[in-house]
Structure 1
Amino acid sequence: MLFSGGYMKIVHIITRFIRGGADENTLYSCNGQAEQGHEVYLMYGRENHADILGRLHPDVRPICIDALVREVSPVKDLQALLDMGLRLRKIRPDIVHTHTSKAGFVGRLAAMFSQSPIIVHGVHILPFLNVGPMERRIYLACEKMLSPVTDAFVDVSAGMKTECLVNRIGDEDRHHVIPSGMDVAAFQQAEPLSEAELAAMAEAPVMGWADAQVMLMVAAFEERKRHVEFLDIFARIVAANPRACLLLAGAGPLEPAIRARIDALGLAGHVRVIGFRKDIARWIKTAQLCILSSEREGLPRVIVQYALGGKPIIATDLPGIDFIVQNDVTGFRVDTVEAMERPINLVLSHEPTSERLEQGVRGIDLSPWSVSSMNERLEALYADLWDRKIGPRQNGAEAFPAVRQA
């Protein structure tokens, strides 16, 4: 298991590998560790996107676990458990690092049964939040069952850590807040889109791009993001602010329902569905304000990206976002989708408020969200776990060497 010079075999496991926040976090973790010379594997489920797979470092070894699916499926879950367990026995990793709820459950069981020495779980989202009482009890029971075999929890925000500790999932010493890394400079230095570029990419709204008050929501078209519910609120916002224009960036299974609701509410002249955008940093820079109406998440990466773009943020309250979305300083956190209406109307109708919030956003230190910061902290955590669970690194090295020894 121990490479010459102290290199590790690391297996990351994620339920889906798509264009999402947890997926990008995992991508950057895998790539950073491969660049450091570790032997890195990525196990992922049947729902995956070729473009994000294509961004993996050439030395990362991808493994599709076909039975690993997001929904609860006893037969497939057992198949995934057996498949992962057999592969882990063959790989014999030093560290198994799971991401997201289903992969966290099945992956940690597989790591335990295959006697992997170090098990880490990334807390990107907690399945027991904002669900019914029965679901909450089941999900909490699963998390508590696996807590004793989890050597470390990597929480994307302090809010996620607090929720875990309040619900007795792990203890203080095993929880480590490591912000989800991203290309900080790309979002800070992006240029807004010109009117000509906007016209080439999307049909102009009814008021024209020059006069539009652009709001942007970046979120997968999934039920928990609550696009449809927000559109009902946006219809009232348009009545008060006729120049309001909502851009919906993303993709997913609810797109037909979202488009149908836009038409039903008579919002076709005020809403543009712009799809998944690789140049999303420029769209953020183009917007007057950015919004998110999610029901259940950790600290969404897009909230950080909005802030990196210097935009006021109005979002439903989620664990950990209070560091970035500070009420009446950088934006507004609200308890319900309906409550988003008032602060949005304020920002759209009162330019001094918009400017003050932009100034507040620019004052936040977002350097902890850089890819390099995340990977340095993961490396330090892995090194500490290695020393405690496997033994001191060879040659008394202070850190893992930059080039694998032959």
Structure 2
Amino acid sequence: MQKLIRITTVPSSLRTLLRGQSRFMSNHFEVIGVSGDGDALTEVKQNEGIRTHVVEMTRTITPFKDLKAVFQLYKFFKAEKPFIVHTHTPKAGTVGMLAAKLAGVPHRLHTIAGLPLLEATGNKRKLLNAVEKFTYRCATGILPNSFGLEQIILDHKFTKPSKLKVIGNGSSNGINTEHYDAALVSENVKANLRTELNISKEDVVFIFIGRIVRDKGINELVAAFNTLSIKNKNCKLILVGPRENHLDPLLPETEALIESNQQILGVGLQKDIRPYVAISNVLTFPSYREGFPNVVLQGSCMELPCIVGNINGCNEIIEHNINGLIIPVKNANAIEEAMQFMINFPEKRQAMIAHTRSRIVKRYKQEFVWSEILKTYQSLS
């Protein structure tokens, strides 16, 4: 059986972003998962039933550590002789594609699920642009996970069109539509969670799910909701997700508002987001940049209308006024107006619900995405 090596920078990406996919692919390939060490890598080995291997990689610019990772991957590839190396996440892509090329791996695929460099400026931007082009040169195929991202790559001339392919309708892993189903959360669980968070039946509940960082639009979201909450006492904002203050800190005034506004409920990272989604009315996701946002898939699949920024991925899942609202990026006033609209017009919000789950099931079901990726693998020779 031919070998397929999948690589992410940190093990939580291998566990979460590709959940179930490695087990599916192991019916057709000998699959090996590679990332930095951690409990999540142990979970991947158990849950996906695949072999795993540790290579430590960083998420920042660290030349000596990066060269060490390249050397370790090169040795591993020479020993394993994979048919395909498929990388995800920026650093894994750069070191993985270089090592795979040096080791003579015939098929080197890199999935693009967002471009952090789009928010960089000056010399840092020039450096990141150069690294991106270098990564693409080392790869034999580049898989942007949205059509908008594919266009951005072409506009920046990072690679030639013939190297690019979007799988299916977009997304790196699709969505488990049977798991993300609001009907699975019992009334008892919802009632208990509402009590715990001091949410009343009259409240319109907005939810954000993701990393609590600047790039996800949290500064604007919190400022918008703070203004909104002064005018509307019956509304809440739930923030679900981890902090990454060392990588992308929030403004001090944002931190102060999260702390002082009793209608903002920070609940941190949650292993199961479904109860929180089930007690919410609207997903708010004003991110600056994405590849193909799983959170919007998950929220829509659980019948939430979504307020999203007008960026690739988000504007491919959401159609304005049909299953949500699309607003300008980095605009607190636009976020507030969209949230106020959702409060003022419950009947329009209700009408959007009819177009949420059905669209996701039709276009982004996990099994469909997996089979399309498999077709891509099987087309290689």
TM-score (norm 1): 0.83
Structure 1 vs Structure 2: percent identity of aligned residues? Answer: 20
Q: C-alpha separation between the residues in 2 aligned to 1:250 and 1:260? A: 19
**CA RMSD between the two structures:** 2.7
How much has 1:354 moved relative to structure 2?
1.0
- C-alpha change, 1:343 and 1:131, in structure 2 (3 Å) is same
| Greater Cα offset, 102-111 or 155-164 | 155-164
1:2-401 → structure 2 map (5 Å cutoff): 7-18=1-12, 24-34=16-26, 36-46=27-37, 49=40, 52-53=43-44, 56-58=47-49, 60-66=50-56, 68-178=57-167, 179-180=171-172, 181-188=174-181, 190-192=183-185, 194=187, 197-199=190-192, 203-205=196-198, 208-254=199-245, 261=254, 264=257, 267-334=260-327, 335-338=329-332, 339-362=334-357, 364-385=359-380, 387=381
Per-residue deviation, residues 198-251 of structure 1 (Å, max 9, x unmatched): 43586333xx43222111111023342232442122110101221111111112
- C-alpha change, 1:200 and 1:189, in structure 2 (3 Å) is closer
Q: C-alpha separation between the residues in 2 aligned to 1:343 and 1:327? A: 11
- The answer to whether the 8 A contact 1:214-1:289 is kept is yes
How much has 1:47 moved relative to structure 2?
6.6
- C-alpha change, 1:106 and 1:198, in structure 2 (3 Å) is farther
- The answer to whether the 8 A contact 1:240-1:345 is kept is no
| Greater Cα offset, 186-195 or 306-315 | 186-195
- C-alpha change, 1:200 and 1:188, in structure 2 (3 Å) is closer
Please give the secondary structure, in 2, of the residue aligned with 1:154. strand
How much has 1:352 moved relative to structure 2?
1.8
How much has 1:87 moved relative to structure 2?
0.9
- The answer to whether the 8 A contact 2:194-2:279 is kept is no
Higher relative contact order (CA 8 A, sep 6+): 1
- The answer to whether the 8 A contact 1:314-1:332 is kept is yes
Structure number with larger C-alpha Rg = 1
Give the unaligned 5+ runs of structure 2: none
| Greater Cα offset, 259-268 or 343-352 | 259-268
Please give the secondary structure, in 2, of the residue aligned with 1:187. coil
Please give the secondary structure, in 1, of the residue aligned with 2:181. helix
Per-residue deviation, residues 44-99 of structure 1 (Å, max 9, x unmatched): 125763675365322x1111212x11011011111111111111111111100011
- The answer to whether the 8 A contact 2:220-2:330 is kept is no
Q: C-alpha separation between the residues in 2 aligned to 1:197 and 1:268? A: 23
- The one-letter code of the counterpart of 2:180 is F
Per-residue deviation, residues 322-352 of structure 1 (Å, max 9, x unmatched): 1222122221222224121101111012212
